[in-house]
Amino acid sequence: MAKEAPVKVFAGTNTRQLAEKICKSLGCPLGNMNIQHFADGEFVVSFEESIRGCEVYLVQSTFPNSDNLMELLLMIDAAKRASAESVIAVVPYFGWARQDRKDKPRVSIAAKLIADLLSVAGIDRLITMDLHADQIQGFFNVPVDHLYASSEFVKYIASLKLKDMVIASPDVGGSKRANSYAKYFGVPLVLCHKSRAKANEVESMTVIGDVQDKNVILVDDMVDTAGTITKAADLMIDRGAKSVRALASHAVMSDPASQRVTDSKMTEMIFTDSIPFNKNCPKVHIISIADMFAETIRRAHNNESISSQYII
């Protein structure tokens, strides 16, 4: 009779801290893996313990630079060649997701390419969180468990006990996400309309809705240079808002994002630890998603419902 495959969790270099928290929540040790670097920047991945017949979870966010993605691909390949029964990529932040369609001629669809690379490398399942575009799930021919940080964020928002609260989106594209929060809390929704001069640079912005004497919660999936989110926050304060807080799942925070957040009129910027945030920014507050991912791994292993753990 076949035995149930044991679970083993391994971490990529830059997501090790989150993986250690996940393992602590699961009550299992983090697997032993070695990554050896050569002088020219090339590296080799090796598992330092047997994973034959195991259900292997590889925790690695593919945030810049590209070494993180390459490291994950090599981890998957090494696991398949070491006779793992199944290989599950746990990618809290799925990078390259902003290129999910052809919005002009002669451009790549990077999100589809990354999906193909992961599939060819040999994953049996993907666990990720707050994709930039939901349709990226359709780029995979293996099961995708798409998690939502909202279940952690709503607890924090509720703990603030804000009166006269409104939920806002810094752009029209995020209106669906923000509307979910607005419906859950039973508060109004406010939208910002922006036009860009070029990528990462906002030319103009207007607010659609009333923020006078309101406590605003700005909702987004990621913050890169923080140009949009800080401009929206400052504009809402200028329009009479009492306070503005912003929350986003992924702290990409490319320079000069930390300085922009510090200099802005927002009260607080809330992120998850899907990407390690090590920069000095007193307004940033980090909420851990380790327990949520640990529970998802536990449910996936036991073939239990994953969607039932979400509030919104």
Average pLDDT over residues 13-21: 96
Give yes or no: 194 in active site. Answer: yes
Query: Which secondary structure element, helix H or strand E, spans residue 46, and what is its range?
Result: strand 43-47
Separation in Å, CA 24 to CA 19, 180, 183, 211, 295: 9, 31, 34, 42, 12
Q: List the catalytic residue out of 8, 21, 112, 194.
A: 194
Q: What share of the chain is helix, strand, coil (3-state, %, to 5)?
A: 35, 30, 40
**Bond prior to 65 in cis (omega within 30° of 0):** yes
CA 231 to chain centre: 22
- CA 197/CA 126 separation, integer angstroms: 35
Q: So what's the pLDDT on residue 5? A: 81
> pLDDT (tens digit, 9 = 90+) per residue, 236-282?
999 999 999 999 999 999 999 999 999 999 999 999 999 999 988 99
Q: So what's the pLDDT on residue 173? A: 81
Q: Is 124 exposed, middle or buried (0-12, 13-18, 19+ CB in 10 A)?
A: middle
User: Beta strands 86-91 and 125-129: pairing type?
Assistant: parallel
Instruction: List the single range of 63-67, 147-151, 303-307 with lowest mean pLDDT.
Output: 63-67
Please, how many CA atoms are within 13 Å of residue 128, restricted to the half-sphere of its CB?
A: 27
Query: Which secondary structure element, helix H or strand E, spans residue 119, and what is its range?
Result: helix 110-121
pLDDT more than 70, % of the chain: 96
Q: Which residues contact 201 (CB under 8 A, 6 or more apart)?
A: 227
When the pLDDT of each residue in the chain is averaged and rounded to a whole number, the result is: 92
Residue 2 confidence (pLDDT) above 60: no
Amino acid in position 27: G
Amino acid in position 302: N
Label each residue of 149-210 as H, E or C. CHHHHHHHHHHHCCCCEEEEECCHHHHHHHHHHHHHHCCCEEEEEEEEEECCEEEEEEEECC
The count of other CB atoms within 10 Å of the CB of residue 174 is 20
pTM equals 0.92
User: Beta strands 33-37 and 43-47: pairing type?
Assistant: antiparallel
Residue 144 confidence (pLDDT) above 90: yes
User: Beta strands 55-59 and 7-11: pairing type?
Assistant: parallel
pLDDT more than 90, % of the chain: 81
